[in-house]
Structure 1
Amino acid sequence: MGASNTMIGIIMGTYMLTCMLFRPWAGHFVHKYGPAKVLRVLLIINGGALILYTVTGLDGFIVARFLQGASTAFFSMALQIAIIESLSDEQRSQGVSLYSLFTYMPTIVGPLIALGIWGWGGMQAFTATMIAIAVITGLFGYRTRIDHVSSGREEEKTGQGVLKAVSQLVRQPDLLICSVLMLAASVVFGSVAFFIPLYVSQVEYGNAGIYFMLQAGVIVLSRFMFRKRVPSDGKWHARFVSGIMLLAAVAALLLSISATAGPLFLYSAAILMGIAQAMLYPTLTTYLTFVLPTSSRNVMLGIFIASADLGISLGGVAMGPIADLMSFSAVYVLCSCLVLITASLAVVYKKRLNRYV
């Protein structure tokens, strides 16, 4: 549609940026009103956003992404809070991993279907698909019952104060280190999601649909196969966490050279990126569920997830201008360096814990 990389980054990044802004409030409102009521309102908003894509241009896309970002923030928090509070400590990591697995399952074939729809019928097929998705999800959502999970923590139900909880980011070292790691890794994940469809045109025999299908397939397979490997003991596993970060760094480096090195490096990056993306989020989330104060855990988890949203958003908003000024290869080199630097924090944090134990 003639958009620059900067504009594409802004449009795509708006979605997760909005998620970030609404995440800290989501946990509070889900507890206050119940997930069923929240879900039904969100289905209406999401349906409107899908329709908006079909009747507007680039400016309207930004509004649609904003609406979908707000919907996602509340919807995912409602489901994750229910999972965390309904499972035992030993099963918690598996529950978080399986939830994340199902969020990625549509992306296994989604990119190929999307490219096929656009190539086959253009805007008319796209419009019909968006309307169909809005109607189907609306009908299914309104007929689905979700019980209100009650944790018995009156302090959180009545609202501990989201702004006060945000201030805990500095005073809670566990929350801070996990948020920084998730932020850095998410910049890589976001830059891949937003710009691979454009970057693969520079790779001989490269295909965006195959890349995304391969990466998503690895994510789903890793989440299922390694769900019992995710630590669920409340301890900080520095080698495990730093190893995941290193996989993301190597994947970004492979992406940066694939334009000249060929598709083998491109698809190898997809595999490594898929493993890293599959393991990092459930590992950090599970750790936080053990170490955060019980009275404000859900709101603080919202802050942590917001760091992931911010990172993905920056993968588009911040890296888009860099791609315009330099190249996509430079973008992925910068991403690799960023993750390498933050990977060392996992080891440094382990030493800090040992000092005070």
Structure 2
Amino acid sequence: MRTGVENALKPFNLDNPFNKRALWLYIVALLFYGTNHMLIIALPFLSQSLGASQSRIGIIMGAYMFVSMFLRPVAGAIVDRFGSRNIFMAALLLNAIVLAAYSIENLWAFAVMRALQGAILAFFSMTVHMLIIDLISDKARGQGLSLLSLASMVPYTFVPALVLYLKDQVTMTQLLLIFAGIGLCNIAFGSGLFRTLGARAGQTSGEQNRDEDRHTVGSSNVSTPKIVFPSLVMLMASIVFSIAPTFLPLYLDSRGMNTAPLYFLTETAVLIFIRFFGRKRIPSSATFPRKLLIALIACFVLSPTLLFLSLSTPVLLASAVCNGLALSLLYPTLITYITFIVPERSRGYSIGWFIAAADFGTSLGAFLMGWLADAFSYPTMLATGAGIGVAALIVTFVYRGEKAVVA
């Protein structure tokens, strides 16, 4: 039910995923994830200049995703209980404070700030997912979630080069203050959206709230079996997706090849193009999108399989296209499906578990594939990735789908 937000947005076309309020949300997400991607590049350099070892840098950087992964279901349940509006604004305020706190330039402070940012990420990602569901109609939900995920991915295309350029033009302290300034700008954008939202944005209806204490535990239990399939597929996909960014440059370098930039440029171009122009292909209903999922999973099976067979430039490009296609639509397709099959009162909790599964798959993939490459070989690693993809394909074939839930 859309009690608060729907009334506030009546003058706006909720069928349009580019309505003014949705655009504001995309911009806020772009700036939020942009500053976080900037820190991923800049913070290791600053930590090293302060005398941190490689292992200590790893601990500092890893605290972010580790904390976020474990807090996502908790954050989802809290958003279900209290709504997205106030938590959204609190996350932006805390993020700006944490960004400013990096200027302390102390390694222990860095570790604490990264952990705090992981907690902020868990709540922010939950609120923006819940808000975009409210800011657009059900039939455009798939498009909105696809555009939101695109906003979080776009910084990957330009942030590394931007930060590497800036670090040679300004001091690290100045660079960190620039990040804090971006955080303050994001508060301005977020507050503009905040003022237009109903007080109960992202929260269930009054009747549901009166029964909430009685139903919260039960609804979580009801929704848990429904998210097993999409979470399992996303976990397996994330393991396979982790291969290229983590190990492909090393594999190509070991073979005396310098074609990794060409691979990632092609993959990124496909991802952005398809996620934007292919968003209308994402089913926005409780109907299980079997054919689309099979096609997408087949793509991420083909990607490591092609690299296993050959590293020639045409094959490398074909692998990049396949991986880009799978990356572009798999996540928004699965998360859209989840929003229709779980009870509204536990939607945030369910999305939290789904995103946590994706995070865990990425972390597990880096560990598992690295071990396989060390213990056996890169081709063995690629063959294993293809095998995991085949397992995801089999799971999708046998899955029968879930019925839509109204309450």
What is the TM-score when the length of structure 2 is the normalising length? 0.71
Q: What displacement does 1:140 show?
A: 2.6
Moved more, 233-242 or 74-83: 233-242
**Match of 1:248?**
300
Amino acid at match of 1:243: A
Counterpart residue identity of residue 120, structure 2:
S
Aligned partner of 2:135 in structure 1 is 86
CA contact (8 A) 2:95 2:183 kept: no
Alignment root-mean-square deviation, CA: 3.6
Q: Is the 8 A contact 1:16 1:310 kept in 2?
A: no
Say which of 251, 273, 288 aligns to 1:221: 273
1:141 paired to 2:193: no
Give % identity.
30
The change in CA–CA distance for 1:217 and 1:265 in structure 2 (over 3 A counts) is same
Shift of 1:97: 1.0
Counterparts in 2 of 1:1-357, with a 5 A limit?
Answer: 3=54, 14-30=63-79, 32=82, 34-45=84-95, 48=98, 52=102, 55=105, 65-116=114-165, 120=168, 128-142=174-188, 144-145=190-191, 146=194, 147=197, 148=199, 149-154=201-206, 155=208, 167-168=221-222, 172=225, 174-202=226-254, 204-206=256-258, 208-256=260-308, 261-350=311-400
TM-score computed with the length of structure 1 as normaliser: 0.80
Structure 1 unaligned residues grouped into runs of 5+? none
In structure 2, the gaps of 5 or more residues are 1-47
Using the TM superposition, give the Cα deviation of residue 353 of structure 1 relative to its aligned residue in structure 2, in angstroms. Answer: 7.3
Q: In the alignment, is the contact (CA less than 8 A) between 1:14 and 1:313 conserved in 2?
A: no
Give the drift of 1:190.
3.0
1:24 maps to a residue whose letter is P
Mean CA deviation greater in 35-44 or 134-143: 35-44
Higher deviation after alignment, 158-167 or 314-323: 158-167
Shift of 1:334: 2.0
Contact 2:230 2:354 in 1 (8 A): yes
- The answer to whether the 8 A contact 1:12-1:316 is kept is no
CA distance in 2, matches of 1:207, 1:54: 39
CA distance in 2, matches of 1:71, 1:128: 23
Q: CA deviation at 1:252?
A: 2.4
Q: Provide the C-alpha distance between the structure 2 equivalents of 1:117 and 1:201, rounded to a whole number of angstroms.
A: 27
Aligned in 2, Cα 1:197/1:252: closer, same or farther, shift over 3 Å? Answer: same
The amino acid that maps onto 2:381 is: V
CA distance in 2, matches of 1:13, 1:319: 18
Q: What amino acid is the match of 2:399? A: Y
C-alpha contact 2:294 2:396 (8 A) present in aligned 1: yes
Q: CA deviation at 1:82?
A: 0.8
Q: Structure 1 177/190 Cα, relative in aligned 2: closer, same or farther at 3 Å?
A: same
Change beyond 3 A, Cα 1:65–1:230: same
What SS does structure 1 have at the residue aligned with 2:327?
helix
Distance 2:176 2:250 in 1: 23
**What's the CA shift for 1:293?**
2.0
**Contact 2:296–2:326 (CA under 8 A) maintained in structure 1:** yes
Please give the secondary structure, in 1, of the residue aligned with 2:280. Answer: coil
- Name the count of aligned residue pairs: 343
Larger-gyration structure (1/2): 2
The one of the two structures with greater contact order (alpha-carbon pairs below 8 A, sep at least 6) is 1
Letter in structure 1 aligned against 2:180: A
- Cα 1:165–1:314 change in 2 (3 A) is farther
* Cα distance change on mapping 1:243 and 1:142 into 2, 3 Å: same
Provide, for residues 185-234 of structure 1, a one-character-per-residue CA deviation record: whole Å limited to 9, x for no partner: 01122343344454443354435554434322221110111111111232
